[in-house]
Structure 1
Amino acid sequence: MSDAAPHPNAPAPVDPKLLELLVCPVTKGPLVYDREKNELVSEKAGLAFPIRDGIPIMLVDEAREIDDRPEHAKP
């Protein structure tokens, strides 16, 4: 049995059941959990919603724009 405490900078875990229920507030489409960046990504809307202390922040004003979608590829 390990009594090791989680790393202080490790993101708080997100309830998997919550992730199944959430949809993009803009498109109402699915979200993809990016564990590395600790955010929920709406590829269709081109937005990434942050997760803070295990709580997804589903406000468009708090989301960052992503520009790596295929339709936004630069020639």
Structure 2
Amino acid sequence: MDERLSNVDPKLLDLLVCPLSKGRLSLDRQTNELVSESARLAYPIRDGIPIMLVSEARKIED
């Protein structure tokens, strides 16, 4: 497991929702991001901290 991800509490990941859509997030271990399929955004995880700002999210292209 990526060390940066191991610092994120799994219980915290269960509680987090997309700030834009309020939908569920899934963890993408390859990109180290939390993904909101409904909003088509990927939120970065930096140093084990999810950055839950829409302005910091990457748009997911089709």
Q: TM-score, normalised by structure 2?
A: 0.89
Matched residue count: 59
Aligned twin of 1:3: none
Alpha-carbon deviation of 1:15? 1.1
Paired residue secondary structure (2:14): helix
* Structure with bigger gyration radius: 1
Aligned twin of 1:71: none
Q: TM-score, normalised by structure 1?
A: 0.74
Which ranges in structure 1 are unaligned for 5 or more consecutive residues?
A: 1-9, 69-75
Alpha-carbon deviation of 1:31? 0.2
Looking at structure 2, the residues matched to 47 and 11 of structure 1 have their Cα atoms a distance apart, in angstroms, of: 23
Aligned twin of 1:37: 31
Looking at structure 2, the residues matched to 48 and 56 of structure 1 have their Cα atoms a distance apart, in angstroms, of: 10
15, 26, 41: which one aligns with 1:21? 15
Q: CA RMSD in A?
A: 1.0
54, 57, 60: which one aligns with 1:63? 57
Report runs of 4+ in structure 1 exceeding 2 Å deviation.
Answer: none
